[in-house]
Amino acid sequence: MITHPPRLRLLLVALTAIIAPLSAQEPTAEAPAPNYTYYAEFVRVVDANTIAVNIDLGFGVWLHNQNLDLQGLPEPAPLATETAEQKITRLAQTARLRDVFTDLTDLTLQTSKDKTTTPPRYLATLWADGENLNAALTKK
């Protein structure tokens, strides 16, 4: 039988108490859900539901002038088949977007992929100062 000095015995007991719970934890079997949330800088309004942003992907990597459709805003009619009334509505929506985004520069952006369209497009949900801008735009 091995006997240890009292101090070493106390250290071994303490280490065993610390290490035992750590080794008892099992790794999770499920992969974590992806989180597509980024910091972004507003560049310009493109159309009634589309804006251009610079996206900070992290680690010094940026995507510049990326056009993103805002999720929840109605799609404008195609320009080739647009009536005069639809054109007025589209121009009013574009002006409203410009008013909302005039003073905003720093945004939080969450993207999702719309696989129902061909080719797939990315939809954006934006926050500024803790406010969901998509929800605010659909309420007005």
How many angstroms separate the CA atoms of 76 and 129, rounded?
A: 28
Q: Which of 29-33, 55-59, 84-88, 136-140 has the highest mean pLDDT?
A: 55-59
Q: Domain coordinates of the chain in residue numbers? A: 37-139
Residue 77 DSSP label = P
Least confident piece of the model among 27-36, 64-73, 78-87: 27-36
CA dihedral 106, 134, 80, 122 (to 10 degrees): 70
Q: What is the pLDDT of residue 103?
A: 83
More confident residue, 133 or 17: 133
Give pLDDT tens digits for 114-128.
888 888 888 999 999
- In this structure, is the dihedral angle defined by the CA atoms of residues 9, 10, 15 and 20, taken in order, positive or negative? positive
| Whole-Å CA distances, 21 to 15, 17, 25, 28, 62 | 11, 7, 7, 16, 42
Write the burial class of residue 45 (CB in 10 Å: 0-12 exposed, 13-18 middle, 19+ buried). buried
The pTM score is 0.70
Percentage of the chain lying above the pLDDT 90 cut: 30
Give pLDDT tens digits for 39-50.
999 999 998 889
Among 4, 68, 1, CA closest to 36: 68
Give me the CATH code for the 37-139 domain, please: 2.40.50.90
Give pLDDT tens digits for 75-114.
777 777 888 888 888 888 889 889 888 888 789 999 988 8
Mean pLDDT of 62-75: 90
Residues contacting 107, CB < 8 A, separation 6+: 39, 40, 41, 42, 53, 126, 127, 128, 133
Q: What is the pLDDT of residue 119?
A: 84
How many angstroms separate the CA atoms of 24 and 43, rounded?
A: 51
